[in-house]
Structure 1
Amino acid sequence: MSLATVLPLAVVMVAGPQILSAIFLATSEQWRRNSAAFVFGASLSISLIVVVAYFLGSNVSSGGSLLGTRAQTVLNAAVLVLLVYVAFDTYRTRNVSEPPKWMGTLSTATPRFSLKLGFLLLGVFPTDIITSVTVGTYLAANDAPVTDASGFVAVTLLFLALPSLSVLALGKRAETALPKVRDWMNDNSWLVSEAVILLFVGLTLNNLFG
């Protein structure tokens, strides 16, 4: 997969509570171990879903596509309608939008909890499941090896690791800047959600008309 394809998919994977959690963990008490555990957990779930989707796609696909062309068009149209509704609803409730309450506990998180969080956020969050399945089935439909997903996985993990890497590289300056970024994302979580939705709208439109 080309970098131009991988980048927007990786952005979709981390936009929202995923990158926000990475920032929280990078400013936690055990930030090195927590951040490493979080990224490792994410790597396990992303890789697992991509591989499963790839092999299911390889076994089920017919004529180079997991679904018939007509079925794919109907599905993409339904997804587009749903995304437009979700975007409208997110904007309508923007003044009451708040991050999940469990994020307040991340400052005192343990590496074990961080590992589970990384696995679940990147493996159970609906947008991440859809994206990982899309990568796996795309590769299967195009008869590409599953190892071609390594770039997608690597870029996603790099984005998740950026907060902790910035602390490692910049020290006190990053420790000062990251809480401000975290607070901004807390206060504007609806904007982050809208950005993710718009990315999916773009991908869906590309599937319909590309």
Structure 2
Amino acid sequence: MSLVDVLPLAIVMIAGPQILSSIFLATSEQWRTNSVAYVFGATLSISSVVVVAYRLGNSISGGGFLGARAKHLLYVAVLVLLLFAAVDTYRKRAVSEPPEWMGKLAGATPRFSFRLGFLLLGFFPTNIITSVSVGTYLAANDAPVTDATGFVLLTLFILALPSLGVLLLGARAEAALPELRDWMDDNSWIISEAVIVLFVVLTIQNLLG
């Protein structure tokens, strides 16, 4: 059950500059190595944040110093994080112009792409909140940290889709990617809000139950 619960948050992880960067890199000069480096950097950072949050959550709920209230406090922490993410996403909904650094992605290097993937997917405000929420949510439910595997893999798969599209479809994918980029830029906040609200509802149900 916990695995199914955390999968939708993969959409929150990529909706925004994360997937836009992936699209830019898929059409860059060194698109193969750049895309691999970007996804690899994301793999390391997402996994690290989830595992650290999970261990901290386990130490709280399993250590006994918070008694029977430990899990309720973890659920409250998850709820606060999600509400903060929802407010932050809504507040930034009107930002239509991509960051200036995106203009440099056409000539990006693998090293830059790795660093971008590591920082953007692991430590972008909404992303770190989401990854921490996943780790603490699993800890509060006494679920193994391996239940986050689906969340991590789905996030990485979506990030890799633009480069996979270029690999399989060639010029057709390159022509379609700019349109997809524009659509995501305009609508990603709506998708993120919908998924966050869903996870808020699940967390409230667990908190009350």
Q: TM-score, normalised by structure 2?
A: 0.83
Picking from 53, 59, 69, the partner of 2:72 is: 69
Any idea what SS the aligned residue of 1:148 has?
A: helix
Percent sequence identity is 60
Amino acid at match of 1:83: A
Query: Partner residue of 1:204?
Result: 200
C-alpha contact (below 8 Å) 1:65/1:141 kept by paired residues: no
Q: Does 1:194 align with 2:190?
A: yes
Q: Which moved more, 1:69-78 or 1:109-118?
A: 69-78
Per-residue CA shift, 1:16-46, capped at 9, x if unaligned?
1101110000010100000000000000001
> Matches of residues 54-203 of structure 1 in structure 2 within 5 Å?
54-61=54-61, 67=70, 69=72, 72-73=75-76, 76=79, 80=83, 83-84=86-87, 87=90, 89-90=91-92, 94=94, 97-186=96-185, 188=186, 191-203=187-199
Amino acid at match of 1:109: A
Query: Partner residue of 2:12?
Result: 12
Q: 1:52 to 1:78 in 2, by over 3 A?
A: closer
Query: How much does 1:120 deviate?
Result: 0.4
Per-residue CA shift, 1:101-130, capped at 9, x if unaligned?
111111111000000000001111122112
Q: Which moved more, 1:34-43 or 1:198-207?
A: 198-207
Query: How much does 1:61 deviate?
Result: 1.5
Q: Aligned partners of 1:82, 1:149: CA distance in 2, in Å? A: 19
Q: 1:180 to 1:79 in 2, by over 3 A?
A: closer
Paired residue total: 203
C-alpha contact (below 8 Å) 2:38/2:118 kept by paired residues: yes
Query: How much does 1:195 deviate?
Result: 2.4
Query: Partner residue of 2:53?
Result: 53
Query: Partner residue of 1:22?
Result: 22
Q: Aligned partners of 2:196, 2:53: CA distance in 1, in Å? A: 19
Q: Aligned partners of 1:139, 1:85: CA distance in 2, in Å? A: 23
Q: Aligned partners of 2:130, 2:82: CA distance in 1, in Å? A: 13
Q: 1:97 to 1:65 in 2, by over 3 A?
A: farther
Task: Note the aligned Cα RMSD (angstroms).
Answer: 2.8
Query: How much does 1:157 deviate?
Result: 0.5
C-alpha contact (below 8 Å) 1:54/1:140 kept by paired residues: yes
